Amino acid sequence: MHPPARHHHPKPGDPPLAPCGHMWVFAYGSLIWRPGFAHAGRHRALLRGWHRSFCLWSHRYRGTPDVPGLVLGLDRGGACHGVAFRVPGDHAAEVLRYLDDRELPDGAEVVYHRRLVPARILDTPGLVVPAVTYVVNRASRNYVPRLPAERAASVIAAGVGQMGANRDYLLNTLSHLQELGVRDAGLERIAALLPAGLDA
């Protein structure tokens, strides 16, 4: 057998570059307001076939094993407005390593899968780019689908973890979506159900 041609079969760790030579990253939660990496462009984007949902228990970053919080995942169905970051090709490998370390940490429960998805760039008519994003691992023990808004609000109000209060995570995401002109009815309903007077 002939060895595979490397240029036809990139390694799994190689950054997926778009034809323009850049790597795109689709952000739907904390990456919108805390990307943690340098980028050459930031664009409002639409992803079809997936929706943003508080569908993952957090026992570390936004909660504890005794008092878990909730974090966002991309789950199947619907559509999601978010942000597409454009990363120059010569920084793509470094950024991809950072994102994998952030979303797929070694030794932790695997709650996300990295996927390449078609993101529509809304400020450039007709432009659809292959974007890296992280979708929920439905096989994870932390996956909690279709949690009622009242229950989600109760959990988020109580959760505090290494990265701070769970309610701040929700409210930061919501405020940055609103700055983009994006309405997320599901997140807005949960935020409206948060108990008053508990701001961190």
CB 165 within 8 A of CB 200: yes
Q: Phi and psi for 189 in degrees, rounded to 5?
A: -65, -45
Residue type, 120: R
* List 94, 103, 109, 179, catalytic entry: 103
Residue 198 burial (C-beta neighbours within 10 Å; 0-12, 13-18, 19+): exposed
Active site residue 94: no
Give the pairing type, strands 160-161 and 112-121: unpaired
What is the radius of gyration, based on Cα positions, of the chain?
18
Q: Which residues are catalytically annotated?
A: 103
